[in-house]
Amino acid sequence: MKFQKKKFKIVCLLRDPVQRFFSHVKMIIKDKNLDPNIYISKNFESLTHQVNHSLYSKHLSNWLNIIPNNQILFINSNDLRNYKKETCKKIIRFIIDDDNFPFQDSLFIKDEVNVGSEWKLDSKLNIKLQSFFTEDKKIYEETLKSS
């Protein structure tokens, strides 16, 4: 069953599945003073909840089965981080359904530098996770291309 209301819109921010997984793990162990790379390497099989949250193949297929494509806007999280003003304009234009909506740049908050986490994904673990999330990375990239 598909939603038919024309004013019903969803903006979906997509993040690379490997980075999404790594970030999720960092959040759950932040107070334990553990290196997330070591934690993932030793506990990967027990992290099914975090893995499932990063699987776009499950989430997107469910959404796209009930919501028409023209009612969902997929945004790349890197675009929002690196091109905030342009990406926000794209989102607003999608929501109000007006490609010519005039914007006053003074209404946008000045971009701040994103500090990020001190923990970065280890290159060996990155290769392992890239392989594990191959299907979801493909869906992530294809979905962003189609939006």
DSSP collapsed to 3 states, the chain: CCCCCCCCCEEEEECCHHHHHHHHHHHHHHHHCCCHHHHHHHHHHHCHHHHHHCCHHHHHHHHHHHCCHHHEEEEEHHHHHHCHHHHHHHHHHHHHCCCCCCCCHHHCCCCCCCCCCCCCCCHHHHHHHHHHCHHHHHHHHHHHHHC
Q: What is the pLDDT of residues 57-85, one digit of tens each?
A: 777 878 788 888 888 899 999 998 888 88
Q: What was the pLDDT predicted at 130?
A: 92
Mean pLDDT across the chain: 83
* Calpha distance 12→69 (Å, rounded): 12
* Calpha distance 24→94 (Å, rounded): 29
**Domains within the chain, CATH numbers bracketed:** 10-146 (3.40.50.300)
Lookup: tokens for 82:
């690196």
- The pTM of this model reads 0.73
Q: What was the pLDDT predicted at 139?
A: 86
Higher pLDDT, 34 or 110: 34
Q: What is the pLDDT of residues 23-54, one digit of tens each?
A: 889 888 887 888 899 999 998 888 888 888 77
